[in-house]
Amino acid sequence: MIGRVRVLLVEDDEPIAESLRRGLGRYGFEVDWVRTGAEALAADPGGVVLLDLGLPDTDGLDVCRELRARGDVPIIVISARADETDRVVGLELGADDYISKPFGVREVVARIRAVLRRVKTASAQPSASEYAGGRLVIDRRSRRVWLDGVEISLSPKEYDLLVFLAEEPGAALTREQIMEAVWDTNWFGPTKTLDVHIGALRRKLGDVVTVETVRGVGFRLVTS
Ligand code: CA
């Protein structure tokens, strides 16, 4: 990576912010620290934003929505609220990942590297790809998908899953490969989450492209 990655840290809790600033600095990140939502929106978002949801002046989710409306900087939401709703809403508003407090610096570093890797992969590819004779169009820059000319709404994970399957149409991808690429996790346990997302994707894709089950292995995208 050329130069140091700049992280905009939005966190009003001083001890947490201090330890993150020091910790991330040790891993080669340059950290700009702000304490409020207003300061966050006035700052340069840098290469990645770490966004606390419990801010003194505004709800972090509103900051997330506004940052996403302005551009595609990766956003990792951090929250002390042990509420699953926050996680879901944050991801729907365009956050790229979510970390619950308490967390260790190493975990944060791993999440930052993972989202930066995804951004880099996305920008290295041509922006829009067509499948099934143009019936399915995926625009990786805007993360938008069209089916027979009509835009379809996918959750962030459904989108990541489709893009990963579409990288090599026809190829059988194992559950483990998919879990690692889309959920950034070495997954050796149950993969029910994956089945739920595959089901949703199948419903949304109709019969234009098919997500085939490869028995005992995983899935493949069939585009004709
Ligand atoms: Ca806070």
Distance 118 CA to ligand 1 centre (A): 27
Distance 52 CA to ligand 1 centre (A): 6
Residue type, 48: V
- 16 shares its domain with 94: yes
- 201 shares its domain with 100: no
Residue 1 lies in a domain: no
Residue 39 CA to residue 35 CA, distance in Å, equals: 7
Distance 1 CA to ligand 1 centre (A): 31
- 79 shares its domain with 97: yes
Which pLDDT value is given to residue 57?
Answer: 97
Residue 53 CA to residue 59 CA, distance in Å, equals: 6
Tally of domains within the chain: 2
| pLDDT tens-place string over residues 181-208 | 888 766 556 678 889 899 999 999 988 8
| pLDDT tens-place string over residues 93-152 | 888 888 888 888 999 999 999 888 887 766 665 678 889 888 999 998 888 999 988 899
Distance 98 CA to ligand 1 centre (A): 15
- 84 shares its domain with 96: yes
The SS3 assignment for 127 reads: coil
CATH number at residue 175: 1.10.10.10
Lookup: tokens for 94: 């365009």
Q: Given a cut of 50, is residue 79 above it in pLDDT?
A: yes
| pLDDT tens-place string over residues 67-76 | 998 988 999 9
Distance 59 CA to ligand 1 centre (A): 10
Distance 17 CA to ligand 1 centre (A): 10
**Are residues 123 and 159 in contact, defined by beta-carbon separation less than 8 angstroms?**
no
pTM: 0.57
Distance 182 CA to ligand 1 centre (A): 29
Residues 6+ apart with CB under 8 A from 223: 131, 132, 136, 166, 169, 170, 209
Domain span holding position 163: 126-222
75, 105, 122 — which closes off a domain?
A: 122
CA R_g for the chain: 18
Q: Given a cut of 60, is residue 173 above it in pLDDT?
A: yes
Residue 41 CA to residue 154 CA, distance in Å, equals: 27
